[in-house]
Amino acid sequence: MKLLHIDASLRAEGSASRALSAFFLEELRAGGLTLDIDRLDLAEDPPDHFGPVHAAAIYLPVEQHTEEMKTALAASDALATRVLAADALVISTPVYNFGMPSALKAFIDHVSRSGLTFSMTETGIVGHLAGKRIAILASAGGNYRPGAMFDGLDCLTPHLRAIFGFLGAAPDIILAHPTTFEGPEMKAQAIREAEDAARALAQTWCAG
């Protein structure tokens, strides 16, 4: 399986989301999958945020692109190509300020491209990621469970479901929480529950 593995946490050490994605990959290997991994660490290699040149270029036919536009979109084209070349995506991300890190949002902006990852047709939008498996392993310091402090404030998972659904895929999202604000026992329980869910998801992938 050709797999694009993306980590978005700014923390190189002690990141619950990075640890969860590593656990998921080990479960895939333990289940017998051979992985050809394309690695992207958004903390070490963050994409540029879209600017005026990018914005102007994506609304013009390719033949009308200036040299400046071609240069600006080169990295975006390359990221979209990596996504399209993968059989599956494994994305790990923390919840920052109720949503995703800015580097992950920038990545999504780069790979959500008309004519590349989706097409606008007379009958509607056609996403080009249909058939790809997508696992999103997320962690949050706060508690988003019903009745808890951050109940109703999870903007990460609905956003990611909407984006990848638009692109034609249905991601599986596992959120470990709370990992910081409610003590070591709650963190241990959250990690244990997330690992159980990740193990079950890996078994589903391995079963075909």
Report all structural domains of the chain as residue ranges with CATH numbers, in order of start. 2-206 (3.40.50.360)
9 annotated as belonging to a binding site for a ligand: yes
pLDDT at 128: 97
Q: For the CA atoms of 23, 27, 186, 184, what is the dihedral angle to 10 degrees?
A: -40
pLDDT in tens, 117-134: 999 898 999 999 999 999
72 annotated as belonging to a binding site for a ligand: no
Q: Give CA–CA dist 182/168, Å, rounded.
A: 37
Tokens coding 94: 């923390």
103 annotated as belonging to a binding site for a ligand: no
Beta strand pairing call for 118-121 and 124-127: antiparallel
208 annotated as belonging to a binding site for a ligand: no
pLDDT at 62: 87
Q: Give CA–CA dist 206/27, Å, rounded.
A: 9
Strand partners, 114: 118
17 annotated as belonging to a binding site for a ligand: yes
32 annotated as belonging to a binding site for a ligand: no
Q: Give CA–CA dist 46/33, Å, rounded.
A: 29
Cα angle 162-115-125, degrees, rounded to a multiple of 5: 45
| pLDDT by 10s per residue, the chain, length 208 | 999 999 999 998 999 999 999 999 999 999 999 999 999 999 999 999 989 999 899 888 889 999 999 999 999 999 999 999 999 999 999 999 999 999 999 999 999 999 899 998 989 999 999 999 999 999 999 999 999 999 999 999 999 999 999 999 999 999 999 999 999 999 999 999 999 999 999 999 999 8
15 annotated as belonging to a binding site for a ligand: yes
HSE on the CB side for 128, CA within 13 Å? 17
Cα angle 197-203-206, degrees, rounded to a multiple of 5: 145
Task: Give the H/E segment covering residue 94.
Answer: strand 88-94
